[in-house]
Structure 1
């Protein structure tokens, strides 16, 4: 089959013929119809993100496609079914702390690299091998809409953070990094889950204006100045008198700790702060939060990488119900042969609700 292959960090993707995936028990082979391209994929392929990724590799994290073949243990999936291919692959020999690899993207530690040996190849290919539990049924789809449904791969990340933070209907959420690709998705997902209002701080005025147009008064935008105290006051004011119940940080590695700290300290007494971004991953200062403030206000701070196993099923149901409107995403599609151009396009269009997709 044909696939885009990264042979070494810093080199462009090349089109190659690679072996067909070999189906085994507990696995599904999927014909890839639409594979989303991450806005920072070019940074990963250049080696700038320092991700654990065994080369050569077919990259691509997640896809929407149709089941080609199922292993003997599949009881509900059948050839031809539309599925979301969840890229978060978990080892099956430790239910408590499973090793994890992000298919076609990265791994967590040595155990994740071991898992990558079998499930490392990603979705920039005609076909994809996934664990059975990672093939999430989507129901009937218009093939022309497959690219839009691949936005679920993007939305899954902030969904995991909002689940970790225990978001309840009617609460106020602050999304740190709201003008980024994942941050914009977080605004949409939080509102779909019943948030009364989402505070969206950022420096990109065009992206902030776009959020206002899409969500109206339910999205309170704040232009950051870089002054931590002033920015914190502006974010609190944008909540319109309501307490900030939950802060979700999705800032990238290039951001410093100052905006993370300012956002976190807007949260109310007994509020929750969830850290999902990349701040500090490439060096720099660590995040410092005041011990007395945390203790006396009973604030919960937790890190969250990705999402629980059942999140893809639950998120797909949100989209099917119409609560999460995938029609908000503007989709630009490329052929597999144009994968390098798709990667460049994704980097140039990293604002909220811009989705770059490869259609093999």
Structure 2
């Protein structure tokens, strides 16, 4: 039985990138057609949130606004057109908001308004505020039901472990987009960051053999140990990125046929040769999911001569989220606290939380708010 929705609640409001956040008491939104009002239980903090909200990354978004991205929440109230969700239900709250009459118009909640007029309108006029608050209003289609009895009672996940979905879903979208099959060999590059480490877990859950690339041998060894602890018998190899393009290609090819590459390179890796090495190691007909921020990573003779498929992918699709939750509920990922080591903060500790998130980044690590 849910409690009545309060008239007001606490939220982290960003007045401007220069002024920073202030914890304020604000009116609780009312449910409207096509929406759900949610009681936020966990709200994810990504490693570069601090750089977004202090203006370092120059992301475009309206100000003021309530910050945030994705969340784990409980449905508090529903618009009159809701037919599947129920009050009290546990849900994953997706941060990718799409236009209902044109899904190509999309933006990331409280992060980036996108480049098109439609997405900017949706962000500024309809769905401005994020989930760093005790309550939030989000589109019905952004609320993905979670089987609380199965996930929390039988498999032992708490809500803070379930918040790790926000990391796992991103590489899941890329791997599904290039149709990775069980038994295939996938190169994840780079693999020792937050999303790269999550990608290794996802690829293993899909039944793939993984070759993880990274510059730090210690982090690669820790990554392998972590994955094998949660998934004994998983097939995972590691290759250190040396900066010698041909040597790194040879190191990858030493493991045999390479079917696919998932790249999650940050902008800082734009001059690195690791992705060129990975593409060069692909078999004929190999596929690449480019989810990072680097230029086309190969000579035309390789792409054309070996029928290589390059696909850019932003985040994931709605059906990907439902498929991922099915896998999680079937027990294909590490159970309970073995999935992630999470740190949580109160809303009033927002500065410390974002500082920690910037550093506490890597395989199986997550920082979130518990409003």
TM over 0.5, yes or no? yes
What TM-score results when the alignment is normalised by the length of structure 2? 0.90
Q: Does 2:143 match 1:129?
A: no
| Mapping 1:17-166, distance limit 5 Å | 17-95=25-103, 98-109=104-115, 110-117=117-124, 118-140=126-148, 142=152, 145-166=158-179
Q: Is the 8 A contact 2:65 2:128 kept in 1?
A: yes
1:246 matched to which residue of 2? 260
TM-aligned CA deviation for residue 138 of structure 1: 0.2
TM-aligned CA deviation for residue 106 of structure 1: 1.3
Q: Is the 8 A contact 2:68 2:130 kept in 1?
A: yes
TM-aligned CA deviation for residue 48 of structure 1: 2.4
Gap regions ≥5 residues in structure 2: 1-8, 229-233
Distance across 2 between alignment mates of 1:201 and 1:232? 11
Secondary structure at the counterpart of residue 207 of structure 1: helix
1:264 matched to which residue of 2? 279
Secondary structure at the counterpart of residue 249 of structure 2: helix
Distance 1:235 1:11, change over 3 A: farther
Distance across 2 between alignment mates of 1:136 and 1:264? 35
1:211 matched to which residue of 2? 223
Q: Does 2:321 match 1:312?
A: yes
Gap regions ≥5 residues in structure 1: 280-285
TM-aligned CA deviation for residue 76 of structure 1: 1.9
Q: Is the 8 A contact 1:201 1:235 kept in 2?
A: no
Distance across 1 between alignment mates of 2:202 and 2:131? 24
Q: Does 2:252 match 1:235?
A: yes
TM-aligned CA deviation for residue 128 of structure 1: 1.5
TM-aligned CA deviation for residue 260 of structure 1: 2.2
1:352 matched to which residue of 2? 363
Q: Is the 8 A contact 2:161 2:339 kept in 1?
A: no
Distance across 2 between alignment mates of 1:227 and 1:11? 45
Distance across 2 between alignment mates of 1:157 and 1:120? 22
TM-aligned CA deviation for residue 10 of structure 1: 4.6
Q: How many residues align?
A: 348
TM-aligned CA deviation for residue 36 of structure 1: 1.2
The superposition leaves residues 191-250 of structure 1 with CA deviations (integer Å, 9 ceiling, x where unpaired) of: 11111x11111113332111111234622111111111111212222xx22x11110110
Q: Is the 8 A contact 1:52 1:113 kept in 2?
A: no
2:301 matched to which residue of 1? 292
Distance 1:322 1:91, change over 3 A: same
Q: Does 2:198 match 1:177?
A: no
Distance across 2 between alignment mates of 1:146 and 1:253? 31
Distance 1:223 1:321, change over 3 A: same
The superposition leaves residues 112-146 of structure 1 with CA deviations (integer Å, 9 ceiling, x where unpaired) of: 21111211311111111111111110022549810
Deviates more, 1:152-161 or 1:320-329: 320-329
Distance across 2 between alignment mates of 1:253 and 1:345? 21
Secondary structure at the counterpart of residue 367 of structure 2: strand
Q: Is the 8 A contact 1:248 1:273 kept in 2?
A: yes
Distance across 2 between alignment mates of 1:166 and 1:358? 34
What TM-score results when the alignment is normalised by the length of structure 1? 0.92
Q: Is the 8 A contact 2:275 2:297 kept in 1?
A: no
TM-aligned CA deviation for residue 328 of structure 1: 2.4
The superposition leaves residues 24-54 of structure 1 with CA deviations (integer Å, 9 ceiling, x where unpaired) of: 1111111000011101111211222222211
TM-aligned CA deviation for residue 288 of structure 1: 4.8
